């Protein structure tokens, strides 16, 4: 992992904001990704660079189960989503497609959009503004899915 | 240690004697449901990502086209065709135009004791019949479809003890919005909301669906009622039999307990843009509206149409309001026709649509424009949920929505 820029969003950020309903039936995630966060920051898909981070507050990714939400973030190259807490369907979907989702209670209040951050999944730490924050480690079961590149990749591996 | 209903369902599906909150288990899924919000992606992944593409048991899978019905563009039509063709090829039950997916599942499939994955967040509705239904994404759905199984983290359970009975003019939707307003959008995060108590006995299966359906708006993994004689009769009337009838043990572990006195509930509204921003409806009376919506998997059943029709009967919808009435299923629509409710709505100036998700998901019918205001019996009022990002959605009961449609501004039915 390497240093990336932070894009920070509010508490109870719902998946409709990440990708609105009217784009969900487009044929591919790549066609959807240019509409990510359109209601909050229409320039987001242009500004975000591979390796950048999305940071949220409490209950990140609540609402609709649309897997297109973590899907467009991954397709835009977002390195990980770091939040105080996650809504369960978003959390599970992200792990299933191989997008790291990290619970960190302190970091979100200490950073702003544009700040740089460094994340170490192995140490379970995030560093921003010269301060290092500890993150909650993933349960081994989920860590294994993530490390294998997601649920379907792990299924294929079992069947080799 | 005793187990809750939810834990017993997971234990049965996992083939384990005992499970406890925090454990991860591999479970056999009783059913899987997928709708046109994501199935085109599931089908694409099936063809492009799997080493060994297969469907473990097509009889356990149901595909329902309900989000964009009828199709609104060539792209939607292509996505739905993908779904239709896959269902036909694999012998999967397929419904189109039959109704909102959760309503169709309840009318035709769900049985007490089942563990059901649905690729839609409101799958928690099935707890009204004592089933464990939970929302997942399309990758989980695909994995379940291919293997017949999945993994589940056993959730903690919160007990909601309901006492008393709802006053006249107050509805289960007011109750559930009140509960969500109190515990917050993350108030039951990763947990099960178990409803019990004497107040629960006053609620029909349809009422229970209203409560369970919105549980995800408090972050819950699912919600559940004990399948009592009311639920079992409802099931038997539809020619189905339970997989298992579970009660929570006396010594089952609850992480938290709440008591709600139904007698004290009043008509409420959720203000834009959060479902947990709930206030007594009188506090938002006078807000001018452009559109009103009566429908959805939360509140588009026959009871809700009866309530709405009683309010508009002999009245005219306000000149500046579009009032969309969308029965939740074909069965509901036919019943409403038989009872003359559709006539009442049409005579009042309402627009009656075919059963589907409609403006509740903001991508097909009745999408609202810049700065417009909608009052809705839908599931959510997130920013832009019903259309333009600057538009606003208020949530209220069928009575409040119908009354507001008549008055042209938010009001409760007793204010007409």
B139 to A150: CB separation less than 8 angstroms, yes or no: yes
In whole angstroms, what is the distance from residue B156 CA to residue A45 CA? 38
In whole angstroms, what is the distance from residue A126 CA to residue A118 CA? 6
Quote the domain boundaries for residue B407: 269-415
Q: Does residue B254 share a domain with residue B370?
A: no
Handedness of CA B248, B252, B255, B257 (dihedral sign): positive
∠ CA(A11), CA(A62), CA(A145), 5° rounding?
Answer: 110
| pLDDT interval class at B371 (50, 70, 90) | very high
Chain B's closest residue to A86, CA to CA, is: B189
Q: Does residue B337 share a domain with residue B400?
A: yes
Give the lowest-confidence range in A37-41, A140-144, B238-242: A140-144
In whole angstroms, what is the distance from residue B277 CA to residue B269 CA? 8
Q: Are B118 and B110 in contact (CB under 8 A)?
A: no
B181 touches chain A (CB under 8 A): no
In whole angstroms, what is the distance from residue A71 CA to residue A85 CA? 19
In whole angstroms, what is the distance from residue B396 CA to residue B131 CA? 27
Q: Does residue B344 share a domain with residue B327?
A: yes
Q: Does residue B278 share a domain with residue B146?
A: no
Tell me, what's the pLDDT at A41?
97
Kindly state the average pLDDT of the residues A71-78: 98
The count of structural domains within chain B is 2
Question: Domain boundary residue among B223, B243, B261?
Answer: B261
Closest CA to B365 of B291, B299, B274, B304: B291
**Residues with Cβ < 8 Å from B224, sequence gap 6 or more?**
B5, B6, B127, B130, B131, B132, B192, B193, B194, B195, B212
State yes or no: pLDDT of B353 exceeds 80. yes
B52 to A27: CB separation less than 8 angstroms, yes or no: no
CA of residue A5 relative to chain centroid, distance: 13
Closest CA to A37 of A11, A59, A58, A8: A8
**Residues with Cβ < 8 Å from A43, sequence gap 6 or more?**
none
State yes or no: pLDDT of A1 exceeds 60. no
Tell me, what CATH number does B35's domain have? 3.30.499.10
Residue-wise DSSP of B205-256 = HHHHHHHHHGGGGGT-SEEEE---HHHHHHHHHTT---S------TTB--SE
B362 to A59: CB separation less than 8 angstroms, yes or no: no
B223 touches chain A (CB under 8 A): no
Kindly state the average pLDDT of the residues A121-148: 92
**SS3 (DSSP) at B261:** strand
Kindly state the average pLDDT of the residues B50-71: 97
Tell me, what's the pLDDT at B66?
97
Query: Which chain B residues are within 8 Å of A58, Cβ to Cβ?
Result: 186
**What is the least distance, in Å, from the CA of B192 to any CA of chain A?**
12
Chain A's closest residue to B120, CA to CA, is: A65
By a Cβ cutoff of 8 Å, what residues of chain A touch chain B? 12, 14, 16-17, 20-22, 24-29, 38-40, 58-59, 62-68, 70-71, 85, 87-89, 92-93, 96-97, 139, 141, 150-152, 155-156, 159-160
In whole angstroms, what is the distance from residue B267 CA to residue B174 CA? 5
Q: Which of A27, A65, A139 sits opposite B137 (nearest CB)?
A: A65
CATH 3.30.9.10 is held by the domain A4-158: no
Closest CA to A9 of A97, A65, A78, A64: A78
Q: Which of B24, B75, B136 sits opposite A25 (nearest CB)?
A: B75
Kindly state the average pLDDT of the residues B203-220: 98
Kindly state the average pLDDT of the residues B135-153: 97
In whole angstroms, what is the distance from residue B326 CA to residue B352 CA? 6
In whole angstroms, what is the distance from residue B215 CA to residue B321 CA? 30
How many Cα atoms within 13 Å fall on the side-chain side of residue B414? 7
State yes or no: pLDDT of A160 exceeds 80. no
Closest CA to B291 of B215, B196, B156, B388: B388
Question: Domain boundary residue among B213, B232, B261?
Answer: B261
pLDDT (tens digit, 9 = 90+) per residue, A77-107?
Answer: 999 999 999 999 999 999 999 999 999 999 9
What is the pLDDT of chain A when averaged over all its residues? 95
HEC secondary structure over A50-69: CCCEEEECCCECECCCCCHH
Q: Which of B137, B142, B143 sits opposite A89 (nearest CB)?
A: B137
Q: Does residue B45 share a domain with residue B18?
A: yes
Closest CA to A67 of A15, A10, A143: A15
Query: Which chain B residues are within 8 Å of A87, Cβ to Cβ?
Result: 186, 189, 219
**Residues with Cβ < 8 Å from B154, sequence gap 6 or more?**
B6, B7, B10, B19, B20, B21, B22, B23, B24, B25
Q: Does residue B44 share a domain with residue B26?
A: yes
**What is the least distance, in Å, from the CA of B199 to any CA of chain A?**
28
Closest CA to B99 of B90, B109, B89: B109
Query: Which chain A residues are within 8 Å of B40, Cβ to Cβ?
Result: 25, 27
Tell me, what's the pLDDT at B132?
98
CA of residue B293 relative to chain centroid, distance: 15
Query: Tokens 């209040």 sit at which residue?
Result: A109
Tell me, what's the pLDDT at B377?
98
A25 to B24: CB separation less than 8 angstroms, yes or no: no
Query: Which chain A residues are within 8 Å of B362, Cβ to Cβ?
Result: 16, 20-22
In this structure, the strands spanning A101-103 and A116-120 are unpaired
**What is the least distance, in Å, from the CA of A108 to any CA of chain B?**
17
B51 touches chain A (CB under 8 A): yes
Q: What is the predicted ipTM?
A: 0.96
What proportion of chain B, given as a percentage, has pLDDT over 90?
99
Q: Which of A22, A28, A160 sits opposite B363 (nearest CB)?
A: A22
Which residues, listed in sequence order, are joined to residue A5 by a DSSP beta bridge?
A116
pLDDT (tens digit, 9 = 90+) per residue, B19-51?
Answer: 999 999 999 999 999 999 999 999 999 999 999
Q: Does residue B406 share a domain with residue B329?
A: yes
B271 touches chain A (CB under 8 A): no
pLDDT (tens digit, 9 = 90+) per residue, B372-407?
Answer: 999 999 999 999 999 999 999 999 999 999 999 999
Residue B194: phi, psi to the nearest 5?
-100, 120
What is the pLDDT of chain B when averaged over all its residues? 97
> B144: which 2 tokens?
């379940």
Say which DSSP state B288 is in. B
Interhelix angle for A151-158 vs A88-97, to 10°? 50
> B129: which 2 tokens?
């019949």
Inter-CA distances, B55 with B59, B87, B118, B145, B258, Å:
10, 11, 16, 5, 42
In whole angstroms, what is the distance from residue A45 CA to residue A55 CA? 15
In whole angstroms, what is the distance from residue A21 CA to residue B148 CA? 29
Handedness of CA B272, B274, B279, B281 (dihedral sign): positive
Question: Domain boundary residue among B235, B261, B287?
Answer: B261
Q: Are B182 and B280 in contact (CB under 8 A)?
A: no
Position with higher pLDDT, A160 vs B394? B394
Q: Does residue B285 share a domain with residue B257?
A: no
In whole angstroms, what is the distance from residue A150 CA to residue B153 CA? 17
Q: Does residue B24 share a domain with residue B104?
A: yes
> Residue B393, Cβ neighbours under 10 Å: how many?
29
In whole angstroms, what is the distance from residue B414 CA to residue B174 CA? 15
pLDDT (tens digit, 9 = 90+) per residue, A35-68?
Answer: 999 999 999 999 999 999 999 999 999 999 999 9
Segments making up each domain of chain A, as ranges: 4-158
Q: How many CB pairs lie under 8 A apart between chains A and B?
A: 137
Tell me, what's the pLDDT at B326?
98
């Amino acid at each position: 992992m390497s240093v990336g820029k932070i894009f920070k969003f509010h508490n109870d950020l719902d998946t409709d904001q990440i990708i609105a309903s009217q784009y969900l039936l487009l044929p591919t995630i790549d066609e959807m990704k240019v509409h990510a966060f359109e209601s909050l920051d229409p320039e987001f898909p242009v500004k975000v660079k591979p390796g950048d981070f999305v940071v949220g507050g409490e209950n990140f990714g609540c609402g609709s189960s649309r897997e297109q939400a973590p899907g467009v973030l991954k397709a835009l190259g977002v390195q990980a989503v770091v939040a105080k807490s996650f809504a369960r369907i978003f959390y599970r979907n992200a792990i299933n497609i191989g997008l790291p989702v990290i619970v960190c209670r302190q970091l979100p209040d200490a950073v702003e959009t544009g700040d740089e951050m460094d994340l170490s999944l192995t140490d379970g730490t995030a560093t921003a503004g010269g301060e290092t924050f500890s993150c909650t480690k993933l349960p081994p079961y989920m860590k294994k899915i993530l490390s294998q590149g997601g649920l379907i990749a792990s299924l294929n591996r079992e069947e080799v | 240690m005793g187990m809750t209903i939810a834990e017993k369902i997971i234990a049965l599906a996992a083939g384990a004697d005992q499970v406890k909150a925090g454990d991860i288990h591999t479970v056999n899924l009783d059913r899987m449901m997928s709708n046109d919000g994501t199935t085109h992606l599931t089908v694409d992944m099936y063809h492009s990502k799997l080493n060994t593409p297969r469907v473990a048991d097509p009889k356990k899978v149901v595909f329902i086209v309900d989000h964009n019905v009828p199709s609104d563009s060539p792209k939607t039509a292509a996505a739905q065709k993908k779904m239709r063709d896959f269902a036909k090829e694999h012998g999967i039950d397929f419904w189109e135009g039959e109704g909102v997916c959760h309503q169709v599942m309840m009318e035709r499939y769900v049985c007490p004791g089942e563990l059901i994955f649905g690729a839609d967040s409101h799958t928690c509705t099935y707890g009204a019949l004592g089933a464990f239904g939970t929302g997942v994404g399309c990758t989980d759905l695909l994995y379940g479809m291919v293997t017949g199984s999945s993994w589940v983290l056993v959730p903690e359970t919160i007990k909601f003890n309901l006492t008393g009975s709802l006053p006249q003019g107050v509805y289960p939707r007011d109750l559930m919005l009140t509960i969500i307003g109190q515990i917050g959008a993350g108030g039951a995060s990763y947990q099960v909301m178990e409803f019990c108590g004497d107040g629960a006995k006053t609620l029909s299966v349809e009422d229970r669906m209203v409560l369970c359906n919105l549980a995800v708006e408090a972050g819950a993994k699912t919600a559940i009622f004990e399948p009592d004689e009311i639920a079992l009769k409802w099931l038997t009337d539809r020619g189905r039999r339970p997989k298992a009838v579970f009660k929570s043990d006396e010594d089952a572990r609850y992480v938290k307990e709440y008591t709600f006195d139904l007698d004290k509930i009043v008509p409420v509204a959720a203000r834009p843009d959060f479902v947990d921003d709930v206030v007594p409806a009188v506090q938002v009376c006078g807000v001018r509206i452009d559109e009103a919506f009566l429908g959805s998997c939360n509140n588009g059943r026959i009871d809700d149409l009866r309530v709405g029709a009683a309010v508009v009967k002999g009245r005219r919808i306000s000149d500046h309001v579009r009032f969309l009435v969308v029965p939740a299923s074909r069965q509901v629509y036919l019943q409403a026709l038989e009872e003359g409710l559709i006539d009442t709505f049409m005579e009042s100036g309402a627009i009656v649509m075919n059963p589907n998700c409609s403006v509740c998901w903001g991508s097909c019918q009745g999408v609202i424009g810049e700065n417009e205001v909608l009052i809705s019996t839908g599931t959510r009022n997130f920013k832009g949920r019903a259309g333009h990002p600057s538009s606003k959605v208020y949530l209220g009961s069928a009575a409040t929505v119908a009354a507001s449609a008549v008055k042209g501004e938010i009001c409760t039915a007793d204010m007409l």
